[in-house]
Chain A
Amino acid sequence: MAKFAKKKEGDLPAVSTASLPDIVFMLLFFFMTVTTMKDSSLLVENTLPNATEIKKLEKKDRVIYIFVGKPTQEYQKVFGSEPRIQLNDKFANVDEVGSYILAERAKKPQELQNVLTTALKVDKNANMGLITDIKQELRKVNALKVNYTTYEGDAFNNLQ
């Protein structure tokens, strides 16, 4: 009566790998969409300080970045080892900050121009003198919302 031939015992069926490309492609598309290529390379040392009471910078399109720090090794011969300002891809002086902010603001869509934040990415070894000058420049162009970008961590680690 054995109409259905029994499968051989102990013979594991091979796992089909036909859907493997699909899975991999799914992952691939995920990473392709979330990837953001770095748009400006750093010319300055940028080890941020730590802080605990931080807020996230939610929308990338509403942020203007200013980097401050000692020039990296390769630029120290030309620019010295005092902390400098980096705007986009080049070094700048304090008096260029205002026009940079205005130029960046003009590039943004009209409805975002009033809600922009200036993210100050400052190396923890910089002095406040330069930062104060930048803040003064920002006040002149009415860019009052600033964010001192930091890492999350115990703030007292900064003092060592």
Chain B
Amino acid sequence: MPRRKGAPEVNAGSMADIAFLLLIFFLVTTTIETDAGLDRMLPPIEPPEEDVIIRQKNIFTVNINKNGQLLVEDELMNLKNLRTAAIGFLENNADGSCTYCKGKKDPASSDNPTKAIISLKNDRETKYSTYITVQNELVGAYNDLRNREAQRLYQRDFTDMESEYLNPETPSSVRDELKDKVKRIQDMFPQKLSEADTSTN
């Protein structure tokens, strides 16, 4: 009987196989998902202290009925035209105080972007998908205008700047620089999208 020379070496050849097995398991179960969606702020439940008087011409009313039809400023409108109509309303610039607007200066429409308010109302039976489409178009109208101004001032899109600003991986030096730019563009076209209580009839 030959003498044993210590413990025999363990064969590591199958190590790769085992590792592959685990790798494939994690590959299959991984979901690298980042959720994305439309950010909105709800109005606080307490009514504001003093009543703010808003002139009717500064309000852009959008009503969605239960069949998903749109009533914009008391006229039936196709959803595809909503974005253009909202842009036209926001930069209408009736009082001429907005130097960067390219609107028609229609005296019957909004005074300037800081006063313009979009009011969205929906029926209880409106479908959620229609509501999201309308929200998307209205947010898109603001973004289109902001992008235009950001291109003019900083030669890049506002949405691009904002996402870089909100990204936690952006170094803080870049963030500080972006903060002022983002703020400036936001102030040019402040997002005033009000959602009044749903009508019941």
Give A contacts to B, CB under 8 Å: 17, 20-21, 24-25, 27-28, 31-32, 34-38, 49-59, 63, 117, 119, 121-129, 131-132, 135, 138-140, 142-150, 152, 155-156, 158-159
Known: A57-B36, A59-B168, A127-B124. 9 other contacts (CB 8 A): A27-B23, A31-B27, A36-B31, A55-B163, A58-B34, A123-B128, A132-B198, A156-B80, A159-B130
B106 in the interface, Cβ–Cβ < 8 Å? no
Contact status B36-A55, CB under 8 Å: yes
A156's contact among B12, B27, B79, by CB below 8 Å, is which? B79
Q: Which residues of A lie under 8 Å from residue B30 when comparing CB positions? A: 31, 34-35
Interface SS, A side: mixed
Give B contacts to A, CB under 8 Å: 12, 15-16, 19-20, 22-23, 26-27, 29-45, 68, 79-80, 122-133, 135-137, 139-140, 143, 159, 162-163, 166-168, 195, 198
A24's contact among B20, B122, B135, by CB below 8 Å, is which? B20
The residue of chain A having its C-beta at the shortest distance from the C-beta of B22 within the complex is A28
B135's contact among A58, A148, A159, by CB below 8 Å, is which? A148
Contact status A128-B123, CB under 8 Å: yes
